[in-house]
Amino acid sequence: MVFTFYPCMSIIFHPRFLDHQQWENHPESPFRLVRAVDKMMELWVWNNVVFPQPATKEDLQLVHTDRLISSVANSKNCYLDPDTFVHEDTYEIALLAAGGTIEAARWARDEGTPSVALVRPPGHHAGADFLGGFCYFNNAAIAVKKLGIRVAIVDLDVHHGNGTQSIFWDDDDVLYISTHQYGIYPGTGAAEEVGEGAGKGFTVNIPFDGGAGDASFMMAYERIIQPVIEQFKPEMVIIDIGVDAHYMDPLASLTLSSPGYLELCKRLMTIPTDCGATFVLEGGYHLEATAEVIGGLVAMCQGVPARMKYYQNMDDELSGLPNIERVVSIQKKYWDIK
């Protein structure tokens, strides 16, 4: 496997992303980005930073209903679900996050090099007509619809991307693959959920039990993720990079290490496509682990060495193998996998 360094990898960021806060001490805090930016500066890879323009209402309407858009735009200082609060500037910043993801995908398409959208608020729990889980609008889905290209979305967040799955449930131009811990929020993402209609087989859920980590994820990549994406032949791969599957994360119990995350990212970037890979920040609530992975990703793409603090492999016994076997037994009806 050949990996090419990309010194011109674009970093999509805006200072306004730091102004978004659900409430004090909420895990989805501005410090997630502050620490990540500090890490990139420490590694001397904080360059080629692009400030995006906000998405338009018309961009949101490519994915979301007017009812949902209006509820976010017109609500002030209230809960729209138990974990998701709306402030006076939430709509403005959410538009900027969607616009930042569009810009990242456009860069990867036009330049053929990877991009990373360091956006807040995240998006993969937002469906066409619902929100939740700290998400308002589905950033990745809006970018896919805006560009109108054939895309594989690989969701590495510990929580299943129920919003993304629902948006592309019957779509055969978008492949959605999710690795996640099963049985936690939002309660979706069973292996049997494969899409319907034209989209049947284009949703691939790889649910793990707690404890699955590097070995299980690499096996899932080799047996399911890589062969399915290569058969799908996307023009672009978008990686929803939630760093909460990390063993340091306080909200769940998967055990990916920092090097494990970077190896997955490297492998996903080497899958042949017409465009560069696009990374979109989702979850990740241990500040130092999230910064280490995001900073390490940008450093890896630029050919800069980065020492890892959280490198332990806690999955020597391949604990996720039974889960992988189950997914293979279901998905081999649609894909040539073994």
Which runs of consecutive H residues, i.e. helices, occur in 54-155? Answer: 57-61, 66-74, 90-111, 139-147
Q: Which residue is it, tokens 């960021």?
A: 13
- Cα-based distances in Å from 87 to 32, 71, 281, 331: 19, 12, 21, 42
C-alpha span between 171 and 177 (Å, rounded): 13
C-alpha span between 113 and 90 (Å, rounded): 31
How many other CB atoms are found less than 10 A from the CB of residue 196?
12
> Which amino acids are annotated catalytic?
125
Tell me what percent of the chain is helix, strand and coil, each rounded to the nearest 5.
40, 15, 45
C-alpha span between 5 and 275 (Å, rounded): 15
- Cα-based distances in Å from 218 to 195, 197, 225, 231, 317: 24, 30, 9, 19, 13
C-alpha span between 252 and 184 (Å, rounded): 8
